[in-house]
Amino acid sequence: MRPITRAIVTATALSGSLDLLSAFAFSAVKGVGPLRVLQGVAAGPFGDPMLQGASVPVALAGLIVHYALMTVMVTVFMIAASLLPFILRRPLLWGTLYGLGLYLVMYWIVLPLRWPELFPRTGAWDVGNALFSHLVCVGLPMGWVADRVLRKEA
């Protein structure tokens, strides 16, 4: 497997899983279970009917959507890291900053366009858990994988 492919697969699995675990944990505090979290992810592209009832197939669709989106996010970062040497000089910093960029795009553009009545959320709890998820659970692991896999090749 080529290093870029290995980096994309590894970072998608790691960042995607940490992001989901974070979402499950923060949602559990509010009494929302993992099935409902995944239904919410599925509702993004497939519409609000995905939120009806408690459906395992819909939750599986949400899981697929989540990892598909994460694959795109990771691929952009890994391609950038392979083309721009300054990223691999400080991959943890750039991964974390990329996570911040992902937060800004998701929480201030994508989600408000999809659910304008719910977003943006500006309460300390909501912003804090979203920043934690995007910086620590998504961006930082991407930088770590880039360091481990791509910097060896550079």
What does the pLDDT look like over 99-151, one tens digit per residue? Answer: 999 999 999 999 999 999 999 999 999 999 999 999 999 999 999 999 999 98
For residue 154, pLDDT over 70 is answered with no
Written as six digits, the tokens of 6 are 């290995």
Q: 44 near 65, Cβ under 8 Å? A: yes
* Domain carrying residue 72: 3-153
pLDDT of residue 19: 99
Chain-wide mean pLDDT for the chain? 96
Cβ neighbours, 10 Å, residue 134: 26
pLDDT tens track for 48-68? 888 887 789 999 999 999 999
Residue 97 contacts by C-beta under 8 Å, 6 or more apart in sequence?
139
pLDDT of residue 65: 98
The band of 91, judged by pLDDT with boundaries at 50, 70 and 90, is very high
Q: Degrees (nearest 5) of the Cα angle 55, 59, 60?
A: 120
What is the rounded CA–CA span in Å between residue 16 and residue 48? 23
What is the rounded CA–CA span in Å between residue 36 and residue 21? 13
Task: Quote the longest CA-to-CA distance of the chain.
Answer: 50
What is the rounded CA–CA span in Å between residue 106 and residue 113? 10
**Number of structural domains the chain divides into:** 1
For residue 4, pLDDT over 80 is answered with yes
Written as six digits, the tokens of 119 are 């977003």
pLDDT of residue 82: 97
Residue 58 contacts by C-beta under 8 Å, 6 or more apart in sequence?
38, 39, 42, 50
pLDDT of residue 74: 99
Average pLDDT of the segment spanning 17-45 = 96
Question: Percent of the chain beyond pLDDT 70?
Answer: 99
